[in-house]
């Protein structure tokens, strides 16, 4: 019997075009296509992006919900800061973390999913 941990995210289903939940579900399904292609090509950045293992819907008394499962990731950088004196992370850890973030951003930029121009309205 295979034992593994899974992270589960549950969201109330709202089927409007502007629903952030629906946008996330669409984005995760879209990214799954590129994950399979990137894994087949053995591209390193796949290891640094978070992909949904499964997306499904459930009904209960309060309505319909989207459920997304993910491979669990380690604690956040903010949580990790609490371990170090004065919340100062070691330089090597910061460099490694930034490197992984840039790999993930490069992957998303490469598939046209994000706009990282400085003139982008969300950055200014």
Determine the pLDDT at residue 57: 92
Cβ contact 12:21 at 8 Å: yes
Q: How far is CA 4 from the centre of its chain?
A: 19
> Which residue has better confidence, 93 or 15?
93
Determine the pLDDT at residue 56: 93
Per-chain mean pLDDT for the chain: 79
Determine the pLDDT at residue 68: 93
**Sheet with 52-60: strands ordered across:** 7-12, 63-70, 52-60
Q: Which domains, and CATH codes, for the chain? A: 7-110 (3.30.200)
pLDDT in tens, 47-86: 667 889 999 999 888 888 999 999 887 777 788 788 888 8
**φ/ψ of residue 91, rounded to 5:** -55, -40
pLDDT in tens, 1-21: 677 888 889 998 877 777 888
C-alpha span between 31 and 16 (Å, rounded): 21
Q: What is the mean pLDDT of residues 99-108?
A: 78
pLDDT of residue 116 exceeding 60, the answer is no
Cβ contact 21:66 at 8 Å: yes
Cβ contact 68:7 at 8 Å: no
């Amino acid at each position: 019997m295979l034992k593994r941990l899974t992270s589960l995210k549950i969201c109330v289903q709202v089927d409007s075009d502007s629903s952030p939940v629906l946008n996330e579900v669409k984005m995760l399904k879209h990214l799954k296509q590129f994950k399979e292609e990137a894994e087949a090509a053995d591209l390193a950045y796949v290891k640094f992006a978070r992909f949904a293992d499964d997306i499904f819907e459930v009904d209960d008394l309060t309505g319909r919900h989207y459920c997304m499962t993910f491979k669990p990731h380690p604690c956040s950088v903010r949580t990790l800061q609490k371990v170090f004196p004065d919340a100062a992370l070691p330089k090597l850890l910061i460099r490694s973390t930034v490197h992984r973030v840039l790999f993930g951003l490069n992957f998303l930029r490469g598939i046209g999913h994000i706009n990282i121009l400085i003139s982008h309205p969300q950055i200014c």
